[in-house]
Amino acid sequence: MGAFFARRTWTQADLARAVELRPEAVRKLLQELQASGIPLESEKDHPHMYWRMAKDWYPGGVLFTAEHVPELLRQLSHLPASKSRDRLLSILMEQLPARGKLTPKAPVVSRRASESEEQYVPVVEDAAARKLPLFMRYLTASRGGKISERNVSVHLVEVGPPARFIATCHRNGDLRWFRVEGIVRARFDEGDTFRECAPSELDAFRAASLDGYKGAGPPVACSFFVREPESSWVATNLLDGMHAETLHGGIRVSLETSALLRLARFVVGLGDAACPESPTLAQAVSELARGALEQASAVLRDVGSRLPSDGTSPAPPGRGQDLDAPVRPRSDA
């Protein structure tokens, strides 16, 4: 075996000399290895018998050649920092042919996986791969942080960040997004039945979602205009599913989604650089912006009422102005 790792193709005569055995004994051993499942191929080309082992085969593992190691290190360093990733990097570094001299050069910093993600992402992925129902205790943040018990069938996992997955909820019978960070406990439930989902249904659900959110109802066509110069960086920071069209003075962003609230939050974050063009989107943006402005105005009123009026202290932001009037927001905030 050591001879084949050093050189993957041998004539039977050369191999016999290398391992100091008679050719007949070598042939018998090679035939036994073939019968046991080791990928050896033989070919007769008179007067020689050639024996070859697959280049990428290694007993009990996977063989990486020296030119593949730098790329393997690079890809591992891009993964979210976790105990399992660090363990793989450590094993790889200990077994490098260069005796540890080959190390990642770039100062790469990756997002650290949360404890929940590190613990439950493998469970969720295995449930999807083996098509086993998953029982989980799940914390729903949108419902005041309440924990509920659910049985789901996982169909697709998005690595993220954040890590999340699409699954059929057995309680409600519909497709839903779940975040791995919301899992408090999870295990396979082999007493339940996995519920299949047609690929077309899964694709339609993803297309109607936005950034891991899916609202009620059918998708709605929406668009908004972003002026220059903000349009330059907005165009390169769109969410999946958004499409930009270059116009005079900026870009028009369009999409079809049922996640209107998530879309409205994105538009509100652009300040007065963005203008909603769809009535449904304009209404959602107006409600969010009005609520945020009311809260900010209340804070400014409270600050203004508690400061001395003798002129000894600097006026707080907004003092002396009409606090009910909207302040022009910074569009690059």
Mean pLDDT, 10 residues at a time, the chain of 333 residues: 83 89 89 84 85 77 74 84 86 67 66 87 94 93 78 92 93 93 93 94 93 89 96 94 94 95 95 94 94 91 74 51 50 46
**pTM of the complete model:** 0.66
pLDDT at 102: 57
Say yes or no: domain 115-208 is CATH 3.40.50.
no
**Fold for domain 2-58?**
Arc Repressor Mutant, subunit A (1.10.10)
- Tell me where in the chain the CATH 1.10.10.10 domain(s) lie: 2-58
Q: Give the separation between CA 255 and CA 42, rounded to whole angstroms.
A: 59
What's the pLDDT score for residue 313? 54
Rounded CA-CA distance 207/210 in Å is 8
Count other Cβ atoms within 10 Å, centred on residue 152.
Answer: 27
Contacts of 228 (CB under 8 A, 6+ apart): 249, 250
**Exposure b/e, 167-198, CB count within 10 A at least 16 = b:** bbbbeeeebebbbbbbbeebeebeeeebbebe
Residue intervals in the chain for CATH 2.30.30: 115-208
Please state, in angstroms and rounded to a whole number, the distance separating the CA atoms of residues 325 and 297: 9
Confidence (pLDDT) at 319? 45
Contact present, 138 and 152 (Cβ < 8 Å) = no
